[in-house]
Amino acid sequence: MDGEQWEIVRQTIDISLNGMAGVFIFMGLFTGVIVVLLKVFPHREG
């Protein structure tokens, strides 16, 4: 692999780490949103 391709690999690793962290942050955030949503709008019988 030439230097240019190594640079692509480096960028890919960077994007992958940020992407995976981003996915977890979003899903964590959404989890929190759902918990709050269920508390604010609980199910009422009838």
Partner 1 sequence: MQELLSGLTSISAGQGAMFVIAGLLIWLAIAKEYEPTLLLPMGFGAILANIPFSAAIDQMTGGQVTEGPLSLLFRMGIATELFPLLIFIAIGAMIDFTPLLQQPILLLFGAAAQVGIFLTMGLAALGGFSLKEAASIGVIGAADGPTSIYVAAKFAPHLLGPISVAAYSYMALVPIIQPPVIKALTTRRERARKMELHPHPVSRKARIIFPILLTLLAGLLVPMAAGLIGFLMFGNLLREAGVVERLAKGAQNELANLVTILLGITIGATMTAAEFLQTKTLLIMGMGLAAFVFDTAGGVIFAKVLNLFLVRKVNPMIGACGISAFPMSARVIHKLGQEADPQNILLMHAVGANVGGQIGSVIAGGLLLALVS
Q: Which residues bind partner 1 (CB under 8 A)?
A: 1, 5, 8-9, 11-13, 15-20, 22-24, 26-31, 33-35, 37-38, 40-44
Minimum distance from CB of 7 to partner 1 (Å)? 9
- The residue ranges of DSSP E strands in the chain, in sequence order, are none
CB of 45 to partner 1, least distance (A): 9
The minimum distance between CB 43 and partner 1, in angstroms, equals 4
Among left, alpha and beta (phi > 0; psi -120 to 50; other), residue 6 is alpha
Which spans in the chain are helix H? 3-40
